[in-house]
Each structure stands twice: as C-alpha cells, then as structure tokens.
Structure 1
Amino acid sequence: MGLNATTNAIRPYPARTFHHGADLETLNQRFRDAKPSEIMEFTMMHAENPVVFTNFRPLAVAFLHLVSRAKPDIPVIWVDHGYNTPETYRHIERVVKELELNLRTFSPKMSAAHYNAVYGGIPPLDTPEHDFFSRTVKLEPFNRAMQELKPDVWLNGIRHDQNAHRKNLDIFTTGNHGTIRVAPMFQLREIDVEEYVYEQELPDNDVYFDPTKGEEHRECGLLLEK
C-alpha cells in the first residue's frame, strides 16, 4: 500500500465530524483500505483545528511530507526534551527548512541540565522515578501544547506494526484533550514508508534517542493518556 492515491474514497460527510461522540467505527471501516493521502484529504476537509505531533524519529519525515503537502500551515508540535542527539537537532533544522513546517516547539519547565544536576540523569525504566521523568520532560510540555492550541484533531504518524499497543489502535481513535487522533499511515508497513522516503528523496534521521522510551518498541506515554 503506497502513500499516494486518488480521492475516490472521499465523499461528503456531515459537519462537526471529529468529536468524542463521533462514530469512529464507521469511519475506520470506511477508510480501512484507503490510501494515506485519502485519509489526510478527508481529515483536512472536516477538521476545524488540526495539529500534528512529531518527534522527528527515523522515517517520521514521510508523515511530515504527507501532511505538509495537504495543509502547509498546520501547526507541528514538537517537544524538545533536551536529550536529543546532535544528529537529530541538525535533522530537524533541515526538515523544517525544506518542508517549510510551521513548527511549534514546547520545552519542559526544567531543562535537561537542570534535571540531570538535581536528579542524577535519566532514571531506570519501569520505576516511579522514570514515570516522573517522563511526565516532566515530555507529557507536561505536550499537555501544555494541547491546552494552548486547543485542536479537535491530533494527526500522528503511528503504524500498526510498531508495537503491540499500536497494533490494537486504529486510523481514527479518541485522544486526550477532547481530540480525535488520526493516523493516516496506520495500515502501512515499515517498508512502505522506507520506499516513500527513498522515492521522494527525503532526508532521514538515523541517529535518534528517546529518553522516555529507552527501547524502540516501548510507548513514551502520549498514546496512553486519556
């Protein structure tokens, strides 16, 4: 399944499509076999105040390319927790410039240097200390972004093949802050996204680290909040 397609899956839909009382089961059935571009076009047609969240992880540039083509001025939320690799920071500068992203950066109230000095650095996984760390450096700034921007739709680039939790999600799901989460690339495989990045000659980020996850297939917490 590729990322580009015609729009034959898009038909008129009632106003106020995205809210927590919406019939998401019907939407998911309707777009089960749709291309990401069709899902994106439908979402942009009916969303009142959509936003994007990204962490600029490997292959995230494919989703950012897709969404910026559909709505160039959409706010792109990025939480700069302060623990990114130098390669990631340089990658972000390049992608923001090339895709002309409307980047909205939100940082923790406590810097990485401050946290390290007071708490001794990133704590071990699966401990209360790590839960506090995740809330401090990622969840709090993300929640602040959502409260400030007040979106009805939160677009993200998750896929069903990334981990066990995401496998049980869907294209359209209820998110926190009253949002509907939309994942246009949900049905894709990693190889599909790799091919898109190659075909579009997009820059990718190969040296990436998320301190709130530690391991590739763990959740950082954003998708677990209600």
Structure 2
Amino acid sequence: MGPNANTQSIVAPERAFHHGADLEALNDRFKGALPSEIMRYTLERAENPVVFTNFRPLAVAFLHLVTRIKPDIPVVWVDHGYNTPETYRHIDRVIKELDLNLVTYAPKMSAAHYDAVYNGIPAFDTPEHDFFSRTVKLEPFNRAMQELKPDVWLNGIRHDQNTHRGNLDVFTQGSHGTVRVAPMFHLRKVDVEKYVHENGLPDNDIYFDPTKGEEHRECGIFLQKK
C-alpha cells in the first residue's frame, strides 16, 4: 500500500465575502432579518472585517450593535479636521463608553493648511469642491482600505437617508474588493432613535460634514467602484 493511499485531500473553504459572492441570494435570505442577525452572520464568516464611521447623529447605534458582538473590531474614522467642537467631544465620549478599537486616518493636508492655501471650504458642485473631497476624505479613506485590506466593510447606512442609498441593499459590492454590509439598511430613522433611547446611548446632532453639507448628498465614498 502506497504512502498516500489513506490520505484525503483537504480543500480550503471558499471565502464567504468576495466580489464573486452571490449577494443577491444573501439579500433575499436576509430580507426582513434583524440587524443583529445580519451582523452575527457576517462577523462569523468575515476574514478581516472593519467598521467605517463618521460619528454622525445616530451612528452610535450601529457602533453599539457591532461592538456588542465583536468588541475588538477595528473602527476606522477619517478625521477630516472640520468637525464641530460638539462632535469631537461626542467622539471622545463614545470611544470611552463603548471601548472602541479606534483607528484614525487623517488627510495629508490639515484643515488649517487647506484653509490657508485654498481659502476654506469651496462651493458645492464645483471642481474645487471635488478636489476638496478627494483631499480631506477620499484619500485617507482609500489609504485605510489599502493598509487594512478588509474583506468586509460594515457600515450603518439606511435606505431612507437619500436616493442613492435607497437603491442599495444590505449586501453590496464595495470598493477595494470588499463587500459592504449594512445591517441596519431596512430600518427607519425612528427605529434607530428608539434603539439609541432604549440603550441609553450618547448622541450628538450638532454635526457638519464639509464634503456633503446636506443629508441627501453623497460625499463620494459610496460612489467609488474600485
């Protein structure tokens, strides 16, 4: 009998999350599922998941949900330098209360530097504002993706936030070869407000995103394809 006669080949399991995954089937499977069910399924199968947050109003609900299941998950924050003082104080409080494993990325040009050279935040829907968004948000976001190399990008977007997001779903293809997972996608704003209240979570509504301004706009992160 040869030395390999009783040896069985071992086949590594297929990755659950990749750009070839059947996301349509996953969306059908989890239609109507609780956010916690979606979160747990994802975290049990993801190889290198990360969370991206901007600490906007009600974002604490998503951070609370994910860290209850995986307390040490990297929470990536792009600090563009233009947050309100109230938002920065809120961020410090949430980091402490939820014991976040925070990973901060900042633009290569500080807000003070940008303002001095380019005279502050440019008008929306101009080439100058596109350059501003790339400088303060998209470049550090892409750098985070390239360095952390996640397979799953967890986020707290909902279908009712704007038209573009309403056309997405729980599981979608993200940039940098990731799968974006939005466990709270089918919730309404009132549902998230209730979650924050019932769990006694701190929140802050004195918030400003210089790359989008109004709630219905996109800053560009969710528009990237690669």
TM-score (norm 2): 0.93
Provide the C-alpha distance between the structure 1 equivalents of 2:214 and 2:33, rounded to a whole number of angstroms: 31
Aligned to 1:6: none
1:74 aligns to 2:73 (yes or no): yes
Counterpart of 2:54 in structure 1 is 55
Unaligned runs of at least 5 residues, structure 1: 1-13
Report the 3-state secondary structure (helix = DSSP H, G, I; strand = E; otherwise coil) of the residue aligned with 2:19: coil
Whole-Å separation in 2 of the counterparts to 1:216 and 1:180: 24
| Paired residues of 1:157 and 1:183 also in contact (CA < 8 A) | yes
Structure 1's consecutive aligned runs of 4 or more residues displaced over 4 angstroms after TM superposition are none
Describe the superposition over 1:29-71 as per-residue Cα deviations: whole angstroms up to 9, x where unpaired.
Answer: 0001100000000000100000000000000000000001110
For residue 206 of structure 1, report the CA deviation from its aligned partner. Answer: 1.3
Q: Which residue of 2 aligns with 1:157?
A: 156
Counterparts of 2:16 and 2:60, CA distance in 1: 27
- Give 1:217 shift: 1.1
**Partner residue in 1 for 2:223:** 224
Alpha-carbon distance in structure 2 between the residues aligned to 1:106 and 1:205:
21
Supply the distance in 1 between the matched residues of 2:113 and 2:43 (Cα, whole angstroms).
Answer: 40
1:192 matched residue in structure 2: 191
Query: Which residue does 1:170 correspond to in 2?
Result: 169
| 1:182 match | 181
Shift of 1:214: 1.2
Indicate if the aligned counterparts of 1:158 and 1:186 stay in contact, CA closer than 8 A.
yes
Equivalent position of 2:5 in the other structure: none
Residues 103-158 of structure 1, C-alpha deviations (whole Å, 9 max, x = no match):
00000000000000000000000000000000000000000001110000000000
Offset, 1:81: 0.3
Shift of 1:15: 4.1
Match of 1:93 in 2: 92
Amino acid corresponding to residue 137 of structure 2 in structure 1: K
Alignment partner, residue 122 of structure 2: 123
Q: If the length of structure 1 is used for normalisation, what is the TM-score?
A: 0.93
- 1:26 offset after TM fit, Å? 0.2
Cα distance in structure 2, aligned partners of 1:117 and 1:95:
31
Residue aligned with 1:63, SS: helix
Separation in structure 1 between the aligned mates of residue 213 and residue 184 of structure 2, nearest angstrom: 24
Q: Any idea what the Cα deviations from partners look like across 1:61-104, whole Å, max 9, x if unmatched?
A: 00000001110000001000000000000000000000000000
> Residue by residue, what CA displacement relative to the aligned partner does 1:169-211 show, whole Å, maximum 9, x if unpaired?
0000000000000000000000000000000000001100000
Stretches of structure 2 that go unaligned for 5 or more consecutive residues are 1-12
SS at match of 2:153: strand
In the alignment, the residues of structure 1 paired with residue 18 and residue 181 of structure 2 have an alpha-carbon distance, to the nearest angstrom, of 12
- The number of equivalent residue pairs is 213
Residue number in structure 1 paired with 2:7:
none
Q: Identity, % of aligned pairs?
A: 80
- Residues 15 and 46, structure 1, Cα contact 8 Å, conserved in 2: no
- 1:60·1:157 contact (CA, 8 Å) conserved in 2? yes
Match runs of 1:4-43 below 5 Å: 15-43=14-42
> What is the one-letter code of the residue matched to 1:86?
P
Partner letter of residue 76 of structure 1?
Answer: V
The question of 1:108 aligning with 2:104 is answered: no
Q: Which has the larger radius of gyration?
A: 2
Cα distance in structure 2, aligned partners of 1:129 and 1:214:
15
